[in-house]
Structure 1
Amino acid sequence: MEHCPFCWDAVRYEATAHNEHCALIRNPDKVLNGSYMIVTKAHRATVFDMTEEEWADTYRLLRQAKQMIDRDSAPDGYNVGWNCSPVGGQTVPHVHLHVIPRFRDEPMAGRGIRHHLKQESNRRGSDTVQQW
Structure 2
Amino acid sequence: MQLRPECPFCHPAYDLEQRIVFETANCWFLQHGKAQGVLEGSGVIVPKQHRSSPFELTPNEWQETQELLGLAKELLDQIAPGGYTLGWNVGEASNQSIGHSHLHVIPRFDDEPYAGKGLRHWLKKPENRRPGRGGDGR
TM-score w.r.t. the length of structure 2 is 0.85
Q: Partner amino acid for 2:108?
A: R
1:8-47 superposed Cα distances (whole Å, 9 cap, x missing partner) = xx12583111001100110453232211110100000011
Q: Which residue of structure 2 lines up, in the alignment, with residue 23 of structure 1?
A: 28
Partner SS state of residue 16, structure 1: strand
1:79-131 superposed Cα distances (whole Å, 9 cap, x missing partner) = 0000001111100000000000001111111010111111000011224338x
1:32, 1:127 → 2: CA distance?
35
Count of residues in Structure 1 that have an aligned counterpart in Structure 2: 127
Partner SS state of residue 20, structure 2: coil
Q: Does 1:56 align with 2:63?
A: yes
Within the candidate set 109, 120, 124, 1:114 is matched to 120
Cα RMSD, aligned residues only: 1.7
Partner SS state of residue 113, structure 2: coil
Which runs of structure 2 are paired with 1:1-132 in the superposition (5 Å)? 1-7=4-10, 10-11=11-12, 14-27=19-32, 29-71=36-78, 73-124=79-130, 125-129=132-136
1:129, 1:86 → 2: CA distance?
22
- Percent identity over the alignment is 44
TM-score w.r.t. the length of structure 1 is 0.89
**Structure 2: which 5+ runs fail to align?**
none
* Post-superposition offset of 1:48: 0.8
Partner SS state of residue 100, structure 1: strand
Partner SS state of residue 51, structure 2: coil
